[in-house]
Amino acid sequence: MGKMFNSAIVEKFVGKETPFYYYDMGLLQQTLKSCKDASSKYGFHVHFAVKSNFNKRVLSAIKEIGFGADCVSGGEVSRAIETGFTNNDIVFAGVGKSDAEINLALDNDIFCFNVESVHELEVINELAGKKGKKASVAIRVNPNVDAHTHHYITTGLDENKFGVNSWDLPKIVDTLKASENIKFLGVHFHVGSQITDMNVFKSLCVKVNEIQQWFEERGVTVKVLNVGGGLGVDYHHPDEHSVADFETYFKIFNDFLEVKPHQEVHFELGRALVAQSASLITKVLYLKHGIKKDFVVVDAGMTELMRPALYQAYHKIENISYLDDQTKATKPYDVVGPICESSDCFGKEVELVEASRGDLIALRTAGAYGEVMASFYNLRPGIRSVYSDEL
Ligand code: LLP
């Protein structure tokens, strides 16, 4: 895949109100297709983690390719239904589902609830009973596997709030057996996000094998093995590695997961499907010469892209206003936004083509956990989006 930007594209940005998310719909298609091809080879099912991007155009593209939707709120379940995902393709996960959200999902006969505690299982059983329905569930098991990623996005360790810990599993089996309005589908895992060390997924497979056997030994048939998401992307080389390595990823599960003939393997990928396909485009407002450094003040802030402020996450930053001029000098800048917080900084000592007021700056790899995490802090105007096929 080539570069996301060239001067013809950037020319079309001129005059548009900034900041905005720019979606490269061709790259999105290519990414989805690559994932589809690699997963179908093994008959794996992919649900898209809607939390990573609930943009309607993005969701439509994902629905079209045939993936399901992994939702974590009533809002996401409704959005998935509005987009046209069929109820049988919708999974509802999350550690704190409200009664109203559970009822919404029951009313829509979704495929599966991913249940995170004994208590939640009891509540879903009760609410399903009131409706005269049977709720299909998978139990999210905390496998105590270290994802070797940022501690804020590690989820599969005993100390994390997610999933049922091993010592609670006997109670889960008892509750399942006593719950008339529950249909047990299988087990669910998710160990963390932005995982680039493929050994983590091998360790996960070993745990899944152990745990499914544990269930089967207790007379509980496991039909669905849901191994979650977490495949990372290359934030440092967005043009060179513009599509995640789905081939290697799915092959690991094919090689290391014990899948019996009656079982289905499910994935919940978010980031790897959408991150690379969007950039946040912002404009240089001011240049400021400090004593020790120079600042570029841009018109996007942590309100549009929260990841750098929240996780010190790296997003490649480029001045895209001089793509045809290779002779322009570069220099280091701190790239900061307009929000009244010191953490409102997209990057320190970023080597950029020398900037002027009005230049367009791209923050790359912003398609996952970008616009969905935007906020109205400082009464910001909300997110705008521009799509490559509508330019
Ligand atoms: N399944 C479950 C149960 C999850 O909690 C998540 C993400 C996913 C699937 C999708 O994971 P992915 O394939 O996108 O790695 N806001 C953070 C990431 C939070 C991830 C939350 N859970 C960030 O900006 O890096």
CATH of the domain at 205: 3.20.20.10
Kindly state if the Cβ of 279 falls inside 6 Å of ligand 1.
Answer: no
Residue 8 falls within a domain, yes or no? no
State the binding site for substrate: 271, 307, 311, 341, 369
Residue 16 falls within a domain, yes or no? no
Kindly state if the Cβ of 369 falls inside 6 Å of ligand 1.
Answer: yes
Per residue in 87-103, pLDDT (tens digit) is: 999 999 999 999 999 99
Residue nearest to atom 7 of ligand 1 (CA): 193
**Of 51, 194, 204, 231, best ligand 1 pocket probe by most atoms within 8 Å of the beta carbon:** 51
| Whether residue 52 is found in the same domain as residue 117 | yes
| Whether residue 168 is found in the same domain as residue 310 | no
- By annotation, the residues acting in catalysis are 340
State the binding site for pyridoxal 5'-phosphate: 230, 268-271, 369
Rounded-to-integer distance, Cα 306 and Cα 345, Å: 10
| Whether residue 212 is found in the same domain as residue 79 | yes
Exposed, middle or buried by CB within 10 Å (0-12, 13-18, 19+), for 28? buried
Distance of CA 290 to the CA centre of its chain: 37
Residue written as token pair 């521009």: 386
Count, residues in the chain: 391
| Whether residue 226 is found in the same domain as residue 294 | no
Q: Is 34 helix (H, G, I), strand (E, B) or coil?
A: helix
Kindly state if the Cβ of 47 falls inside 6 Å of ligand 1.
Answer: no
Cis check for the bond before 170: say yes or no (omega within 30 of 0): no
Using the atom order of ligand 1, give the atom closest to the CA of residue 93. Answer: 3
Kindly state if the Cβ of 190 falls inside 6 Å of ligand 1.
Answer: yes
Distance (Å) of CA 142 to CA 98, 228, 270, 302, 322: 21, 12, 19, 32, 49
DSSP structural state of residue 141: B
For position 306, which CATH number holds?
Answer: 2.40.37.10
**Pairing mode, strands 224-226 and 264-269:** parallel
What spacing in Å lies between the alpha carbon of 106 and ligand 1's midpoint? Answer: 24
Yes or no: say if 256 and 202 are a contact pair by the CB < 8 Å rule. yes
Beta bridge partners of 352: 331
Kindly state if the Cβ of 93 falls inside 6 Å of ligand 1.
Answer: yes
| Whether residue 288 is found in the same domain as residue 308 | yes
DSSP 280-293: EEEEEEEEEE-SS-
Q: Residue 131: CB partners within 8 Å, gap ≥ 6?
A: 103, 106, 107
Yes or no: say if 46 and 267 are a contact pair by the CB < 8 Å rule. yes
What spacing in Å lies between the alpha carbon of 132 and ligand 1's midpoint? Answer: 33
Beta bridge partners of 187: 139, 225
What spacing in Å lies between the alpha carbon of 288 and ligand 1's midpoint? Answer: 36
Range of the domain at 134: 26-275
| Whether residue 335 is found in the same domain as residue 378 | yes
Q: Is 164 helix (H, G, I), strand (E, B) or coil?
A: strand
**Tens-binned pLDDT, residue by residue, of the chain (391 aa):** 569 999 999 999 999 999 999 999 999 999 999 999 999 999 999 999 999 999 999 999 999 999 999 999 999 999 999 999 999 999 999 999 999 999 999 999 999 999 999 999 999 999 999 999 999 999 999 887 766 666 655 565 566 778 898 889 999 999 999 999 999 999 999 989 999 999 999 999 999 999 999 999 999 999 999 999 999 999 999 999 999 999 999 999 999 999 999 999 999 999 999 999 999 999 999 999 988 899 999 999 999 999 999 999 999 999 999 999 989 999 999 999 999 999 999 999 999 999 999 999 999 999 999 999 999 999 999 999 999 999 9
Yes or no: say if 153 and 202 are a contact pair by the CB < 8 Å rule. no
Residue 3 falls within a domain, yes or no? no
- List the one residue out of 20, 22, 42, 40 whose CA is nearest residue 32: 40
What spacing in Å lies between the alpha carbon of 228 and ligand 1's midpoint? Answer: 9
Kindly state if the Cβ of 336 falls inside 6 Å of ligand 1.
Answer: no
Q: What is the pTM of this model?
A: 0.96
- List the one residue out of 63, 69, 64 whose CA is nearest residue 93: 69
What spacing in Å lies between the alpha carbon of 209 and ligand 1's midpoint? Answer: 23
Domain count, the chain: 2
Please work out, in degrees rounded to the nearest 5, the angle formed at the alpha carbon of residue 58 by the alpha carbons of 107 and 41: 85
Kindly state if the Cβ of 270 falls inside 6 Å of ligand 1.
Answer: yes
Residue 13 falls within a domain, yes or no? no
